[in-house]
Structure 1
Amino acid sequence: MLDEAFVVIVRVVISFFSLLIFTRVLGKQEVGQLTFFDYINGITIGSIAATLATDLSSKVWAHWVGLTGYAVLTGILQYITVKNRYLGKVLDGEPTVVIENGKILEGNLKKMRIKMSELMMLLRDKGVFDITQVEYAIMEINGGLSVLQKAKNLPVTLKDLQISSTPSNLSTEVIQDGIVITQNLQQRKKDMDWLNKNLQANGVTDVKEVAYALILPNEQLYIDKYEDNIGKETDMGDYEGPY
């Protein structure tokens, strides 16, 4: 039993540092930037690393060679996609226009196997609820949707109005799950008296009533209570049912 435990520990160390080195060498990519192939490849490499650590029925060497092989091939494909534009398109695909001048291109949606409901969800995620406002919508190779609204629907900026602006600041959380974060309160040069005064001004008598609170960039206090009291919630479903 102890011998097996020692072997597993050694294999875990080998697997862990091999995976660490390979991921460092292959570079940094956010999950949202990964193509579908990159995502599946990452899962496969992780699965091999896990098997290397725990499968005592086979030799470490075989799993390590498999892990190294996947990492090397991934690195080669990354190099190819950077150096050769044509092969990069073949391997990673290319962006596809799915909406043009407010019209959905159903043929392109079918080629990408994307349902209409999924497209609508991606548009809402971009803050677009009226499809007629869209000039172009492009499905990126990582599955994300880029949206260009029509010029008349774009928000007016301070630059457009030739109005000077002040630098933007960050919001600071000061209450989370009914607990005051005193360190953050002090960083914004506030004290408990200031906090209690603002809570009372918003009808909060006990900090335990607050789920989340922020000091906004304009020094105002944003409060979200556990009891929202918003009445009947908006139902996004399109059928009667329990879910």
Structure 2
Amino acid sequence: MPEWLEIAWRTLLAVAVLFAMTKLLGKRQVSQLSLFEYITGITIGSLAAYVSLDLEATWYLGLVSMAVWVGVTLGMEFLQLKSKTVRDILDSKATVLIKDGKIMEDNLKKERLTTDELMEQLRTKKVFKAADVEFAVMEPSGDINVLLTKENQPLTPKHLGIKVSPEQEPQTVIMDGQIMDEPLATIGLNREWLDAELEKLGVAIENVFLGQVDSYGQLYVDLFDDQIKVPEPQKKAALLATLKKCEADLEMFALSTKQQKVKRMYRECSKNLEKVIDEVKPLLTR
């Protein structure tokens, strides 16, 4: 067999084995590499190169070595799941960098992190003053997570005592000009509804790059032609306007009647509707 053909065959074999072993190790091997996993990735890659190019050595020994490395890594991951001590040894512990607005200089030195690097990491979290930080910790992965002080945290409906209903994830119903029937069925809709919504927007299905339906049943589309501007759905705004019109009508009815009993009824209904509008307004204006 010619050398170039043997190298091509070995390379294809190494790629297949490497892909299978990487799948076996799981997604964490790619997204959150620990120090040991980082070393494992480099070593397995080097062994794959050895299997591909070293024509003088026995090539299958490289596959044996790769299998041993993967087996050791799987064993380490199993031990990490069962023992916190093993996790602390292999992944190390999280390190507190800021506490109560005070930078922990000794911990910075321990992690070999300069003040400039710390401030850079804080700025990536949209924090520009260390004094605004209640708690900052460096995770074993190297990421820095930040908890702001109470007065610097963003205002949420919970802070205002407002309860909001859970929102379902948007469903992608059109992709690359093709209708996705399964997401449509998931939210209880069909192609006839989708065709009617597209007709309202004045858009043909083949011109839609991406179409999504939110939890309120509103369709948002992105077209292949970025120069064309599609009007945003106005169902929520129309509903809010209708509720306000009903409230105004009740007030007008209360003013137009001379019967006190009927007048009180209209005004009571108007007040109740006003309360309903105040409760649903955050949902209809976002």
Tell whether the structures are fold-level matches, with TM greater than 0.5: yes
State the SS of the aligned residue for 1:108: helix
Contact 2:98 2:134 in 1 (8 A): yes
> Normalization by structure 2: what TM-score?
0.56
Q: List runs of 5+ in structure 2 lacking aligned partners.
A: 230-286
Partner of 2:195: 192
Q: What are the equivalent positions in structure 2 for 1:16-31 lying under 5 Å apart?
A: 16-17=16-17, 20=20, 24=24, 26=25, 29=28, 31=30
> 1:45 aligned to 2:50?
no
Shift of 1:15: 6.4
Partner of 1:238: none
> Normalization by structure 1: what TM-score?
0.64
Q: Distance in 2 between matches of 1:211 and 1:56?
A: 49
> 1:218 aligned to 2:244?
no
Partner of 2:144: 145
Structure 1 window deviating more from structure 2 (8-17 vs 130-139): it is 8-17
Aligned residue pairs: how many?
217
Q: Distance in 2 between matches of 1:161 and 1:87?
A: 43
State the SS of the aligned residue for 1:58: coil
Structure 1 window deviating more from structure 2 (211-220 vs 58-67): it is 211-220
Q: Which amino acid counterpart does residue 161 of structure 2 have in structure 1?
A: L
Partner of 1:239: none
Q: Distance in 2 between matches of 1:228 and 1:108?
A: 54
Cα-to-partner distance string for 1:137-167 (whole Å, 9 max, x where unaligned): 21111122333333452654559837362x5
Q: Which amino acid counterpart does residue 216 of structure 2 have in structure 1?
A: N
- Higher helix fraction (1 or 2): 2
Q: What are the equivalent positions in structure 2 for 1:98-113 lying under 5 Å apart?
A: 98-113=97-112
Shift of 1:169: 1.8
State the SS of the aligned residue for 2:137: strand
Partner of 1:123: 125
Contact 1:171 1:215 in 2 (8 A): yes
Shift of 1:133: 4.3
Q: Distance in 1 between matches of 2:6 and 2:29?
A: 35
Higher relative contact order (CA 8 A, sep 6+): 1
Contact 1:11 1:60 in 2 (8 A): no
Contact 1:174 1:214 in 2 (8 A): yes
Q: Which amino acid counterpart does residue 219 of structure 1 have in structure 2?
A: G
Q: List runs of 5+ in structure 1 lacking aligned partners.
A: 230-243
Shift of 1:119: 0.9
Distance change in 2, residues 1:64/1:86 (3 Å): same
Q: Which amino acid counterpart does residue 195 of structure 2 have in structure 1?
A: M
Supply the RMSD in Å over aligned alpha carbons: 4.2
